[in-house]
């Protein structure tokens, strides 16, 4: 049995449009409605035939839905929820895909005090954005984390979990606070560092930006992929997971300072020991199917 | 006309074995000799048929060569050069593939005061190491930087350049000092940061290492690839390009601190502006063929 029959997607960018495509592929009888605040995205959604009905108003998209998924930047989630509150059916379940869960839970509860809310975070994405960037298999073999409130009905949580499993994801449940610490280290801090180093590299005087680009195959290019991610989404992530990000950043800065000291004093053993330890982490990630085992990411070395 | 007829490769790991394979493919009439300090690597080189003759002593490998390429970690280069000095033909050109050039030039000049030396750095590699990891096309569409001494014979430099062009690389010439600053930012700093964040992530108490691995698709996994690079090689890089690495690290830490401040004070504009700027750098790298344009590196989302 399908977990939901009428799904409304609010926000039709990379994630929203991938959910729509995934539903079409794995749950073809589901009636899909959608809305995006940007008229150009709505027009693209019509052209791409992402959903059965693209509504000009969020209320019109959700009025008959049994699942509403907010796929907007976390800073816009409270406003997006408020805009559809009056039209939300009493038995609809509301979810989202935001990368920070404590603030999102707060914003959703404030905007929709009577709704059944099961926040979700599919840990998947690419550096592209917009409705054209989505694809149906984005969530396959990826994790989707649910952070239901402590008093959530287990049957409701299970329906949302089943929805994500149908899209190909494996589901985990945790508290929003724990989610935010885990993601601060596995996602938010890496993005912040990547953005930062790409900024540093383009501001140098002694080395030109064209040299940085030319010789990027030495390692730098790996950072630029995630530093090409959507600016609005990521600004919001850092502003809404402030505490956990600052905590992880503090630890990282300490560790980096101790490497700096080892380099300054020529302490090769400190460097060698760390570099040996980090190799094992990579091995585990590849073994668990969370990254591509092909060397150098299978990048082409031939024309 | 071939630039060289008899090439000796000292050190048969990822880079040395890739050169050997590339020479076999693009300059099949060249006579190839090789040596590695590790008997197990020498045995593997015989099994893999990497070169025409695997010598047990570096002197025996170079005695008839017109090009000798030292493919050893930069910390071992002086010793490796000294070990073959007595057998080096007077007209042989000596080169290397080290990632730091100022210290390498000093070490080579000290060990081989009368030799013609043209240091080289092919900006290419993967996270794998050892003779099995090499492949003939590793250098194709990559840059190879030559850092000849100021008084080098241009004809000699051109022969080395032509050798690398035959292996598929594009060649640039610069001073060792400028090379070391360029690579500090495009390669050494990214590796240091990647090693550091992987270390930070595995040392947390509130988030387990298995959670870090499980949710690594959020961005963290991109860092683990380069943090799986050869520990000995990279220890040596940091110890031998100390000044440039510390300078770039200082700038990076400053920039990161200013992002930290923007997050703490909720200054979204600072974040948004940087995140928009960094996107353009990525675009240039892809346009110039220095990275794969496939979204998410073309990682498989399906089984």
Mean pLDDT of chain A: 94
Cβ <8 Å between A220 and B297? no
pLDDT tops 80 at residue B256: yes
Three-class SS of A179-237:
HHHHHHHHHHHHHHHHHHHHHHHHCCCCCCHHHHHHCHHHCHHHHHHHCCCCHHHHHHH
Residues B69 and B97 in one domain: yes
Distance of CA B47 to CAs A159, B14, B41, B62, Å? Answer: 57, 16, 10, 21
pLDDT band at A177 (very low <50, low <70, confident <90, very high): very high
Residues A206 and A137 in one domain: no
pLDDT band at A299 (very low <50, low <70, confident <90, very high): low
Contact call for residues A229 and A125 (beta carbons, < 8 A): yes
- Computed from CA positions of residues B232, B165, B105, B184, in that sequence, does the dihedral angle turn out positive or negative? negative
Q: Which of B124, B214, B260 sits opposite A249 (nearest CB)?
A: B260
pLDDT tops 70 at residue B77: yes
- Select from A163, A225, A280, A99 the least CA-distant residue to B290: A225
pLDDT band at A201 (very low <50, low <70, confident <90, very high): very high
Residues B142 and B205 in one domain: no
Between CA B57 and CA B86 the distance in angstroms is 12
A251 and B CB contact within 8 Å: yes
Residues B236 and B142 in one domain: no
* Lowest pLDDT segment from A286-295, B37-46, B56-65, B165-174: A286-295
pLDDT score of A55: 98
DSSP state of B76: G
Distance of CA A113 to CAs A90, A298, B98, B115, Å? Answer: 11, 49, 63, 80
Task: Tell me if residue B34 falls in helix, strand or coil.
Answer: strand
- Select from B150, B284, B272 the least CA-distant residue to A237: B272
pLDDT digits (tens, 9 = 90+) for B143-185: 999 999 999 999 999 999 999 999 999 999 999 999 999 999 9
pLDDT tops 70 at residue A301: no
Cβ <8 Å between A194 and B222? yes
pLDDT digits (tens, 9 = 90+) for A1-22: 899 999 999 999 999 999 999 9
For A231, half-sphere exposure in the C-beta direction (CA atoms, 13 angstrom radius) is 14
Task: Tell me if residue B1 falls in helix, strand or coil.
Answer: coil
- Select from B35, B184, B174, B34 the least CA-distant residue to B118: B174
Cβ <8 Å between B185 and A220? yes
pLDDT band at A287 (very low <50, low <70, confident <90, very high): confident
pLDDT digits (tens, 9 = 90+) for B233-245: 999 999 999 999 9
Placement of tokens 């590695």 in the chain? B36
The residue segments making up the domain with residue B50 are 6-174
Q: What is the mean pLDDT of residues B21-30?
A: 98
**Does the residue A114 lie in any domain?**
yes
pLDDT tops 90 at residue B282: no
Percent over 90 (pLDDT), chain A: 82
Cβ <8 Å between B123 and A217? yes
pLDDT band at B303 (very low <50, low <70, confident <90, very high): very low
DSSP state of B87: G
Between CA A104 and CA A234 the distance in angstroms is 14
Placement of tokens 């750095």 in the chain? B121
Residues A149 and A246 in one domain: no
pLDDT digits (tens, 9 = 90+) for B212-229: 999 988 889 888 888 999
Residues A209 and A272 in one domain: yes
- Give the distance, in angstroms, between the CA of residue B154 and the centroid of all CA atoms in the same chain: 24
pLDDT score of A127: 84
Mean pLDDT of chain B: 94
Cβ <8 Å between A246 and B223? no
Interface test with A, best of B219, B229, B240, B253 (most A CBs within 10 A): B219
Q: What is the mean pLDDT of residues A279-290?
A: 85
Q: Of B174, B194, B227, at which residue does a domain stop?
A: B174
**Does the residue B303 lie in any domain?**
no
pLDDT band at B290 (very low <50, low <70, confident <90, very high): confident
Residues B20 and B76 in one domain: yes
pLDDT digits (tens, 9 = 90+) for B259-276: 999 999 999 999 999 999
Between CA A101 and CA B113 the distance in angstroms is 64
Residues A161 and A211 in one domain: no
CATH of the domain at A94: 3.40.50.720
Residues A140 and A217 in one domain: no
**Does the residue A247 lie in any domain?**
yes
Contact call for residues B119 and B95 (beta carbons, < 8 A): yes
Q: Which two tokens stand for residue B97?
A: 């593939």
Between CA B23 and CA A176 the distance in angstroms is 56
pLDDT band at B280 (very low <50, low <70, confident <90, very high): confident
Contact call for residues B222 and A223 (beta carbons, < 8 A): yes
Cβ <8 Å between A291 and B299? yes
pLDDT score of A130: 95
pLDDT score of A303: 36
pLDDT tops 60 at residue B97: yes
**Does the residue A35 lie in any domain?**
yes
Residues A224 and A77 in one domain: no
Task: Tell me if residue A24 falls in helix, strand or coil.
Answer: helix
Interface test with B, best of A203, A224, A280 (most B CBs within 10 A): A224
Cβ <8 Å between B235 and A266? no
Nearest-Cα distance to chain A for B8, in Å, is 24
pLDDT tops 80 at residue B15: yes
**Does the residue B42 lie in any domain?**
yes
Q: Which two tokens stand for residue B249?
A: 């690290």
Q: How many CB pairs under 8 A join A and B?
A: 386
B237 contacts in chain A (CB < 8 Å): none
A134 contacts in chain B (CB < 8 Å): none
B285 and A CB contact within 8 Å: yes
Percent over 70 (pLDDT), chain A: 97
Q: Which two tokens stand for residue A98?
A: 């935001």
Cβ <8 Å between B217 and A143? yes
Domain tally, chain A: 2
pLDDT score of A30: 98
A282 and B CB contact within 8 Å: yes
- Computed from CA positions of residues B38, B43, B46, B50, in that sequence, does the dihedral angle turn out positive or negative? negative
pLDDT score of A218: 85
In chain B, which residue's Cα lies nearest the Cα of A266?
B239
pLDDT tops 90 at residue A209: no
Residues A202 and A151 in one domain: no
pLDDT tops 90 at residue B60: yes
Q: Of A174, A198, A217, at which residue does a domain stop?
A: A174
**Does the residue B221 lie in any domain?**
yes
Nearest-Cα distance to chain A for B152, in Å, is 24
Q: What is the mean pLDDT of residues B200-210?
A: 89
Between CA B237 and CA B277 the distance in angstroms is 30
Q: Of A174, A206, A224, at which residue does a domain stop?
A: A174
A279, B238, A300, B198 alpha-carbon torsion, rounded to 10°: 30
Between CA B9 and CA B134 the distance in angstroms is 13
CATH of the domain at A233: 1.10.3660.10
Between CA A230 and CA B57 the distance in angstroms is 55
**Does the residue B1 lie in any domain?**
no
Distance of CA A171 to CAs A66, A210, B116, B260, B301, Å? Answer: 20, 43, 62, 32, 16
Residues B89 and B156 in one domain: yes
- Select from A57, A108, A102 the least CA-distant residue to A82: A108
**Does the residue A159 lie in any domain?**
yes
pLDDT score of B301: 56
């Amino acid at each position: 049995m399908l977990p939901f029959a009428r799904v409304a997607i609010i926000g039709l960018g990379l994630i929203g449009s991938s959910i729509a495509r995934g539903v079409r592929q794995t749950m073809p009888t589901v009636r899909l409605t959608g809305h995006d605040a940007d008229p150009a995205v709505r027009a693209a959604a019509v052209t791409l035939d992402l959903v059965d009905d693209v509504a000009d108003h969020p209320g019109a998209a959700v009025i008959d839905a049994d699942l509403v998924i907010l796929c907007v930047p976390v800073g816009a989630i409270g406003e997006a929820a408020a805009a559809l509150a009056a039209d939300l059916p009493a038995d609809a379940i509301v979810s989202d895909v935001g990368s920070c869960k404590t603030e999102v839970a707060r914003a959703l509860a404030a905007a929709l005090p009577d709704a059944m809310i099961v926040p979700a975070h599919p840990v998947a994405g690419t550096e592209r954005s917009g409705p054209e960037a989505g694809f149906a298999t984005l969530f396959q073999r990826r994790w989707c984390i649910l952070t239901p409130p402590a008093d959530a009905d287990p049957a409701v949580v299970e329906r949302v979990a089943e929805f994500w499993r149908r899209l190909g994801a494996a589901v985990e449940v945790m508290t929003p606070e724990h989610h935010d610490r885990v993601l601060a280290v596995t996602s938010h801090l890496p993005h912040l560092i990547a953005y930062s180093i790409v900024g540093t590299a383009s501001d140098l005087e002694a080395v030109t930006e064209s040299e940085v680009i030319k010789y990027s195959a030495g390692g730098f290019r790996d950072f630029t992929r995630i530093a090409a991610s959507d600016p609005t989404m990521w600004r919001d992530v850092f502003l809404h997971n402030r505490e956990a990000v600052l905590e992880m950043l503090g630890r990282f800065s300490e560790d980096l300072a101790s490497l700096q000291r080892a380099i300054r004093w020529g302490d090769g053993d400190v460097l060698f020991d760390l570099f040996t330890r980090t190799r094992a982490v990579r091995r585990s990630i590849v073994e668990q199917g969370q990254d591509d085992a092909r060397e150098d990411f299978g990048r082409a070395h031939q024309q």
